Amino acid sequence: MARRNRAQRALIHPDAIYDNQLISLLIARILKSGKKSLAQRIVYKTLEIIANKTKKNSIKVFEKAVKNVTPQIEVKARRIGRSTYQVPTEIRAFRGINISLKWICEFASKRSGKSMSLKLASEIIDAAKETGHAMRKKEQVHKMAKANRAFAHIRY
């Protein structure tokens, strides 16, 4: 049986100001209703806030936060017969980065505060310090995968 070809991933162009692909991924994650300039404004303001609060290079702090939050494994539901098993599977690097950005944005928007850039900056700083909700989510996922190690032999 012939396998179908995988979809080709589009090239990620680095952002205009920092010339960084990770920042353009974050902008795409923040983007709502096609308002890219607003998303860029939020992200750049966030990076300024991070630089002011930490007195460090904001891009290094952001990259460290993403690296800390990136999961190595995830669980996927797999139906066999009438029962559903949570099967732990390894994650490719690109998917891991996307998941970590999703968690950071999700928990930043749930935070209490005035502006999205402030909330996002706080979540990124917390993730760089290995605290915060996004880190807790990663630990939760890893704990779930560890608990379901018995089903690791099941191919997804």
The partner residues of 78 in beta bridges, in order of sequence, read 85
User: From the CB of residue 120, how many other CB atoms can be counted at a distance below 10 Å?
Assistant: 27
For residues 27 and 45, the answer to whether their CB atoms sit within 8 Å is no
Distance of alpha carbon 53 from alpha carbon 58, whole angstroms: 9
pLDDT tens profile 64-113: 999 999 999 999 998 888 989 889 999 999 999 999 999 999 999 998 88
pLDDT tens profile 13-67: 999 899 999 999 999 999 989 999 999 999 999 999 999 999 999 999 999 999 9
Residue whose token pair is 């379901």: 148
Q: Is residue 10 part of a domain?
A: no
pTM: 0.89
- The tokens for 96 are 């891991």
Q: Is residue 14 part of a domain?
A: no
What mean pLDDT do residues 138-147 have?
Answer: 93
- What residues make up the domain containing 81? 21-151
- Count the domains in the chain: 1
Q: Is residue 62 part of a domain?
A: yes
Displacement of CA 112 from its chain's centroid (Å): 20
